[in-house]
Chains A and B, each alone.
Chain A
Amino acid sequence: MRGKRDKHRRPPAAKGGVTRRDFLRGAGVTVSGGLLVGTQVGKAAQAPASSAVAGPGAVPVTLHVNGKVHRLQLEPRVTLLEALRNELDLTGAKKVCDRGVCGSCTVFVDRRPAYACDLLAIEAEGHQITTIEGIGSKDKLSPVMHAFVEHDAQQCGFCTPGFVMACTAFLERNPNPTLEEVEKGLGGNLCRCGTYAGIRLAVLDAAKAMKGGSHA
């Protein structure tokens, strides 16, 4: 359990003061829980912040991702998103705003949706992380992925993995959504190409498809 691990509250102090990036990452332990998307806050947020310090250099971090265990050496300031993309080559989660606004980096933390850019990798220790690579593949599309293709709910596709994850989590909590609920429940993801019309249809359709219990 990660509560045992020492955590830093601040990244290594390079000269020149604390930047926004440092602040976000350094404060992540206490801040990020509040930024987890979903109705409840993940365990990470409930663990009291330790006053001890990890880092500034790399520390061992064990991540459980898509059912596999990965032992990594990471600086404590590395976000979960960076760890997934740069260390594990799981690039379905995208870095777009890098500050918890757009949802393009959405993953599941213990099956709840979370913005991976808003969590430190060390905070994710002890939790089951699921990325889009863990819920389906090109040849074995999940019901939501399938509905996205069918309703052309994607153009450039850069927002799509985040949306697929958000939609999947949304439908698990709300298997019979109304259009209004879809529009509210998916307000945490942004698309620039303008695929919302297709996404609305895809979610409603996937809801029907998932009734058979064929969850992703």
Chain B
Amino acid sequence: MPKCKYDWPEAGDRGLIGESIDRVDGAVKSSGRARYSYDVHPSGMLYARMLTCPYAHAKITSMDTSAAEKLPGVKAVLVIQPVGSEIQWAGDEIVAVATTSEAAADDALRLIKVEYDQLPFLVNEEDLSKAGDRAKPSAEQKSGDPDTAFKDPDAVISEGYYGAQVITHCCLETHGSMADWRPDGKLKTWSSTQSVSDLPGQIGEGLRLQKVDIQNSDIETVCQYIGGGFGSKFSPDRWGIVVAQLSKQTGKPVRLMLERDQDLEVAGARPSYYGKVRVAGKKDGTITGWDSDTWGTGGMGPSGNPPVPYVLEGIPNQLKKHTRVNTNIGPSRAWRAPNHPQAAILTMCALDDLADKLGMDPIELLKKNIDFAPEILRQAYVEELDKAAELAEWKKYWHPRGDKTPGHLKRGLGVSIHTWGGRGHASTCLIAIHPDGSVDVKLGSQDLGTGTRTVIAITVAQTLGLPVDGVNVMIGDSAYPKSGASGGSTTVGGVSGSTRRGAIDARDQLFAVVAPALGVEPTQLESVNGRIQVTGDPSKSLSWKQACAKLGVKTIEAQGKNPGQCKLGDSGVGGAQIADVTVDTETGLVKINRMVAAQDCGLIIDMKTAESQVYGALTMGVTYSLFEEKVMDDQTGIMLNPNMEFYKLAGIGDIGELVVHMMTGPGYDERGVIGLGEPPVISPGAAICNAVTNAIGVRVPTIPITPEKVLAALAKGGMA
């Protein structure tokens, strides 16, 4: 079969692709010069803030903004939700002000009087018996004959309760934007967004719903740098509409960034997931049945229904029930790998308990049943489990449940596997080769810190035979060709596909111009090492600059698209992780000794930023497993920890040693580029839960695994 013209180079010919290359915006970030939306500050800019509802469920009965309107420095007061509105969570936005200083905004909000009728609320759902009619059975699925499977007298059955709490995104840059509605009627926003290309349309729609007239084509959104998104920054949100209205009303640029407490209360939560699970297996470890009764909350919206049994989806004889609980905790949002970390905890913990009952090594149990995983990933899982076991010294440190060494420090290891799709999204780019030899790549994508700019630079540079700094990457502006939102690990596949195709077409145009000078056909040329040369013959060549000079005054432009011709990417990755922990049975403290990840993601473009994704995911995984929780108060209905001293993130001393191994080479590379942002953040919770169980001999059923929960589990019958 003829090789397709856009295909990635063969192994040995990949040059920059797969090397460990510094991120191209590393210097601008580490020198503090990267400008985030929060930093954009044109002269005359006003500061906006919002008054929020202090009750979990209430109706607005009266409102008086007159005193605020009269306060010096107040330029606009905008009622977001008028009298009569029913509010479904504390922290919901009621009134916005735009003022000449941040302090004046605080003063103005304090002068606004709003009265409410409080209504009944529910903010905690782990105890389903208290949920009443807030609990809505939402799914029931049956396959095979679970009844018979669980009644089989030869079956070994394990039973357990597991769960994952509600957490928030806690992006260090809060949500928000700076909006400048200019006298010519055009609106420009600097938005902290994962979705540069789509935002203008959404803002336009939001404004028209507020009866503010504007065409989408008159809106431009810029986001050069974003201080974290993790799935919570796809939409402009209400505040993204409000800030534009305030700018229009005042005729000034206005910045509205959420305060930290608002951000933690309303700007994103990962749905909880709790469940009772039974697993049936044969004595040889073959799993024969699955029975789960699960529930969770995503606020008043959908709670998601995590895919269990996770990875081993082909387990026969399944019975699954799921109940969604409507609560007044604020809206849920996609949180890095939506639904999967929760599914991993329920599944991998239940399988770990079955392995214990069977007296089996849990890695052996996973391998024994790996044929229940999607076929395309089975081989990868086996290799990844072996690799992770080797790096974690599993044979040396794993032991049957309960560390029997004397003393109060108990060490344990736990394992989990995971999967994700990650196919590249739709992306369009424009590549320009200028007569002076400079190369521009433009696309309306965004770099969340994942390395998108770097991946684009490497793709184009390698294709044109240039160094990475020979390519000028221009992203983060909706004025550029449309490229997809950055979510679901779809960006790397999307932008590498579009820019590879665009760069090949641009290169071919250049070949056509240069070929006569070298006295050959364009098809006989190659671009390598900063030269255009007759393939394999550097003696017949022009430097890149000389070649581009032949363009005269004409710039070459080529569009690149994803998806498109030739297979440059794929969907579906696997990964295995092992956690190694020490638990202090006197204090209940869990210390991470080591986290090991073996991860595949097809063809890797930049090894350095790819590894960073995994290091970061392991760190975030430690954080949600041990520290984070959106703590809601049953009495008042408010979040008790909307700040960073009590909404805890792991610090630099909390994460232990991190070991990352990327699976590359035959069997992986030829799949093309697949996304990596989500998958490695899925397994840490389950692996850490299993490691703690392995250490102390008793399961702490839910994350976060706090000292209090460890001590409670030990009191019930562990190794203390």
- A contact set with B: CB distance below 8 Å: 11-12, 14-16, 19, 21, 75, 77-78, 82, 85-86, 89, 91-99, 101-102, 104, 131-133, 136-139, 141-142, 144-146, 148-150, 152-161, 164, 182-184, 186-187, 189-200
1/0 contact string of B223-245 vs chain A (CB within 8 Å)? 00111101000000000000000
- Nearest neighbor of B28 in chain A, beta-carbon distance: A138
Most buried by A among B27, B174, B643: B27
Task: Say yes or no: B225 contacts A157, CB within 8 Å.
Answer: yes
CB distance from A201 to the nearest CB of B (A): 10
B26 interfacial contact with A, CB 8 Å: yes
List residues of chain B with CB within 8 A of the CB of A92: 31-33
Query: Known contacts A92-B32, A154-B449, A164-B32: does B170 contact A192 (CB below 8 Å)?
Result: yes
Q: A96-B172, A186-B652 are contacts. A132–B615 as well, Cβ < 8 Å?
A: no
Q: Is the CB of B22 within 8 A of A152?
A: yes
What is the CA–CA distance of A77 and B103 in the complex, to the nearest angstrom?
8
Contacts of B103 in A (CB 8 A): 11, 75, 77-78
Residues of A within 8 A of B228 (CB): 156, 158, 192-193
In the complex formed, the residue of A with least CB distance to B609 is A152
Complex CA gap A164/B29 in Å reads: 10
Contact A149 B172, CB 8 Å, known A82-B102, A97-B644, A156-B226: no
Q: How far is the CA of A141 from the CA of B33 in the complex (A)?
A: 11
Taking CB atoms, residues of chain A closer than 8 Å to B616 are 155, 193-195
- Whether a CB of chain A sits under 8 angstroms from the CB of B549 is no
The answer to whether B70 has its CB under 8 Å from any CB of chain A is no
- Inter-chain pairs besides A141-B31, A152-B608, A158-B36, 15 sampled, C-beta below 8 Å: A15-B111, A19-B106, A91-B35, A91-B38, A94-B36, A97-B644, A99-B644, A142-B31, A149-B22, A149-B30, A152-B611, A156-B226, A158-B173, A182-B652, A193-B228
Output the nearest chain B residue to A17 by Cβ-Cβ distance.
B110
CB distance from A137 to the nearest CB of B (A): 5
Which residues of B have CB within 8 Å of A85? 39, 41
Question: How many Å lie between the Cα of A81 and that of B202 in the bound state?
Answer: 33
- Does B479 sit at the interface, judged by CB under 8 A? no
Residue contact B652 to A198, C-beta cutoff 8 Å = no
Given contacts A138-B33, A148-B30, contact A194 B619 (CB under 8 A): yes
B33:A198 contact, CB within 8 angstroms: no
Select one of B32, B260, B623 contacting A98, CB under 8 A.
B260
Whether A86 and B102, one on each chain, are in contact in the complex, defined by CB atoms closer than 8 angstroms, is: yes
A154 touches B615 (CB 8 A): no
CA distance A101 to B67 in the complex (A): 34
Residue of A nearest to B71 (CB): A14
* Given A156-B226, A158-B227, A160-B32: A102 in contact with B449 (beta carbons within 8 A): no
Q: Are B30 and A200 in contact, CB atoms less than 8 angstroms apart?
A: no
| Given A194-B618, A197-B658, A158 and B172 contact (CB-CB distance below 8 Å) | yes
Q: Once the chains are docked, how many angstroms separate the CA of A163 from the CA of B106?
A: 29
- Which of A101, A150, A184 lies in contact with B644, CB distance below 8 A? A101
Residues of chain A lying within 8 A (CB to CB) of residue B25 = 157
Contact between B652 and A99, CB atoms less than 8 A apart: no
- Interchain nearest-CB distance for A147 vs B (Å): 9
Contacts of B111 in A (CB 8 A): 14-16
What's the Cα separation between A30 and B631 when bound, in Å? 32
Residue of A150, A161, A183 touching B32 (CB-CB under 8 A): A161
Contacting A at CB under 8 A, from B252-266, are: 259-260
B residues in contact with A198, CB < 8 Å: 612, 615
Name the B residues within 8 Å of A141 (CB-CB). Answer: 27, 30-31
Shortest Cβ gap from B51 to chain A (Å)? 11
**A206 → chain B, closest Cβ, in Å?**
11
In contact, B41 and A86 (Cβ under 8 angstroms): yes
- Beyond A138-B33, A156-B227, whether A196 also contacts B172 by CB under 8 A is no
Contact status A183-B449, CB under 8 Å: no
- The answer for the CA separation of A160 and B103 in the assembled complex, in Å, is 27
Q: Check: B247 CB closer than 8 A to any chain A CB.
A: no
**Cα–Cα, bound, A3→B577 (Å):** 57
Chain A residues in 8 Å Cβ range of B608: 152
A132-B31 in contact (CB<8A): yes
Residue of A nearest to B651 (CB): A187
Report the bound CA distance from A89 to B651 in whole Å: 29
